[in-house]
Structure 1
Amino acid sequence: MKTKYESRKFIDLIQRATSKWANWDPPRKITVGDYGTIINETGEFDWEGNIYSPHFKEQLKSSKYKFNIDLADAALRPNEQEAGDDHFIVKSWGVTAKEAKTSADCLVHISDCAAVPVPGVVNVALKLDLQFDGNKPAAVLVMHKPRYSSLPHDERIIRVLKSMPGVLKGKYIVTEVISCAAYMMHLSDQKQFSVPLKAVGPVTPAINAGGAASFAWSSEAAYGLSRQGCDPAAKYIPLYRLKMPCPKFWEWEDVDPPWNPLDNEGEEHELYDAVRYRCFY
């Protein structure tokens, strides 16, 4: 598989499956409240600032809009939530999850399926057998122990954003991030392979419930592009949501890719006149 911009192709496939954006470099920090744009050639987020930063606070003070809103207020800080599922798995069109196994008392959540209990395996936290149709590149993103952080639904956030047109106009806002202790991403057109996430030492219910454990990915993929990381002390950011602010919080729109539809090699189709709608103020 020859792809000019693997990052953009992977991000494009994940975005179309979830309306969320894959972080091509999960150890790289992306935080709720970040604002910036998307790099067309790579699909990566181009960070410009954060609405909770001291710098933004100083800019807010010099705004012509005079109101007393302190983003340090606990009610305006990002909401933190631990997911109920042990794994979150995203797969693009052209991929089928043929089998999923976890250790006892675990649940697996697949993006287009319901969460279901599956038989336990003593030293395997997850075993996923993936089937590719082989006709075009497809993408898979697996996250272990996902945690969610998101902007609060509070009208004061909108008032802050509307008061800074010179800074935020035309920018995208990170409204949600999904972090995890272990991730695996794979881009391939291979027919089939297995992805086990193995626990170092026995998997116990206490560990499944969130105790400290060490994990290691292992893959039988013969070719394709894979990235992975395992570290219970780390906070990987494989997935995040971008929004285009509108006058009301609940009317915010998901950000569409800035590129035209991509072919199997990740190149943009030249003959395509996309009409993209942008809403900010």
Structure 2
Amino acid sequence: MPPSEARTFTDLIYRATGWWPHLDPTQAIGVGTYGIVNKDTGRFHPIGNLYHDPDVIDKIPELALPESEPTQGQISEKEWAVWTDKESKWNFNVDPGVSLTSILDGDVKLQFDLAPRKRSAFLIMDRFQTISLPPRGLLPKIAKVKELKDMCIVTDVRVCSAYVLGLTSRGTMSVNTNANVSLPVPAALGMTASSSIGGGWSSNASVTFHEEGSKLPDPKHYTTLLTLKVLTNSWKTRLFGGLREAGKPQSPTEEAFENIALPWGELDYEGNASSREEEVYDNPDSPGSEDFPDDI
């Protein structure tokens, strides 16, 4: 995936959902992973994991306790999808037993058509599960580990058994997966369902890239979304800067960390930084992460 496309996909998905897309879903990323983000592409590069790093465990012995293990959310039996061109989301199930996993495995056939108004990103997951750092207690201890002060910490991951993701241009796009099944895709998404006439993906030069994968029956085979937390600059100064500000607490709290910010400005159509408002391809009316479902 070229850097500009990776940057655009990351930008669109993160602005729409509040989740950081993992650009290599086949690479497993566990809760507690720490690493850095490439500022040109948005790609997260893991360096280590809190739970497996003996130096970190030596500083935070609580990591070895059972109550510090990541929490496992319920595996959803519905698909989860985001389409950044519309202020919408959808879950769909088709009886009898039609799912994204069975579609990608070739057991079911499907076509749907998209009509993007502008450059857009989409992500669909089947049998997804959210895995998280225990809700309270560890982040304040992590904040005190100097070696981690400039690292991104993965506090949540979304994993799934199947996924489709892609980046579109303006125009129309048809997605075919071998098929003869019609899904009740909401009209609000600008999609229409129909019978397919062949296999694979087809388009009018409108799909910049797409990826898909399916692995039955493992719901944790693909890692698609991450929550990345970073220590705030204020707390870096308090803890490691050698300055004690009068009246400022010196014992970190959960709020010592914040979600990572996008490392670039607004992007133009090609995924480059642009100051011209008419060239910006983020969607200011897109829903925030609070509008998207957690585990079902």
TM-score, normalised to structure 2's length? 0.66
Separation in 2 of the partners of 1:148 and 1:228? 20
Partner of 1:189: 169
Give the counterpart of 2:115 among 122, 131, 149: 131
Cα offset for 1:93? 3.0
Instruction: Tell me if 1:145 matches 2:127.
Output: yes
Aligned residues: 228
Query: 2:228 is matched with which residue?
Result: 242
Judged with a 3 Å threshold, the aligned counterparts in structure 2 of structure 1 residues 191 and 83 are, in CA distance, closer, same or farther, namely: farther
Q: State the Cα RMSD in Å.
A: 3.3
Letter in 1 for 2:265: N
The SS at the match of 2:42 is coil
Gaps of 5+ in 1: 109-122, 200-216, 273-281
Q: List aligned pairs for 1:199-278, cutoff 5 A.
A: 218-223=200-205, 224=207, 225-232=209-216, 235-245=221-231, 247-249=252-254, 252-269=257-274
Indicate the residue corresponding to 2:61 in structure 1.
Answer: 69
In 2, distance between residues paired with 1:243 and 1:221? 37
- The one-letter code of the counterpart of 2:144 is S
Are the aligned partners of 2:70 and 2:134 in contact in 1 as well (CA < 8 Å)? yes
Match in the other structure for 1:92:
84
Residue 240 of structure 1 aligns with an amino acid whose one-letter code is: L
C-alpha displacement of 1:10: 0.5
Seen in structure 2, the aligned counterparts of structure 1 residues 107 and 252 have a Cα distance that, compared at 3 Å, is farther
**1:159 deviation in Å?**
3.8
Q: Percent identity, aligned pairs only? A: 28
The one-letter amino acid paired with 1:162 is A
Contact 1:173 1:244 in 2 (8 A): yes
TM-score (norm 1): 0.69
| Deviation (angstroms), 1:189 | 1.5
Shift of 1:142: 0.7
C-alpha distance in structure 1 between counterparts of 2:88 and 2:132, whole Å: 30
Structure that is richer in helix per residue: 2
Contact 2:131-2:157 at 8 Å conserved across structures: yes
Determine which structure has the larger strand proportion and give its number.
1
Q: Which amino acid aligns with 2:171?
A: K
